[in-house]
Amino acid sequence: MKYQGLIGMAAVSFLLASCAGTDVETHDGQEVAEDQAGSGKLRRGANVYVAQPADRVTAKSTNPNSGRATAAAIANELKPFAGRVMRGTSVQMLDVALHDAQQNGAEYLIYPSIIRWDDKRTDWGANRSAVQVQLSVYESVSGKQVDAMLLQGTGKVFGDEVSPESLLKDPLQRYYKSVY
């Protein structure tokens, strides 16, 4: 009988742990701590151009508008740190994005690439939404890469009705706090 109580507690613990969402940022191979102070790599108040990444396409599926949604999430979370935030309206090669950033008076270009995009918005089930985006930050005039970051987010197992782009909010906020 005493084992039934232990088994019940273990089952509840497992369910609670599996319902939690996760998000991680990897900066130069190291995880970014939530309270990490800004490094000053990027100048606060500088104008920033966010390029629109290509929609995520795999052998099994295409995620239409994932590029636009990613650029919007990146730009939205950047607003408290940057002066003016501009977004590309179509997918651009790096050299074209750098040129457009310069032409629009941006000091930095954020050039994202979608690595993973799983939109599993369901009310119940074990499938979770997930996202993984590589950010590369460039000085727009010199074209020099000044930073890179891998952002990841995974939704909850049960009751998860979040989109992949909404999973970027917390990792983006921590990242921006770490570089501004």
Name the architecture of domain 21-179.
3-Layer(aba) Sandwich (3.40)
Whether residue 53 contacts residue 112, with contact meaning beta carbons closer than 8 Å, is answered with yes
Mean pLDDT of all residues belonging to the chain: 83
- Rounded to an integer, the average pLDDT of 69-73 is 98
Model confidence at 160: pLDDT above 80: no
CA distance 151 to 74: 11
CA separation (Å) from 142 to 17, 63, 138?
Answer: 46, 33, 8
- Rounded to an integer, the average pLDDT of 144-155 is 95
CA distance 42 to 147: 9
The whole model's pTM is what? 0.79
Structure tokens at 180: 């501004």
Band the pLDDT of 39: cuts 50, 70, 90.
confident
CA distance 51 to 101: 9
In the chain, where the domains are located: 21-179
H/E element, 157: none
Structure tokens at 144: 């020099």
- Rounded to an integer, the average pLDDT of 96-115 is 98
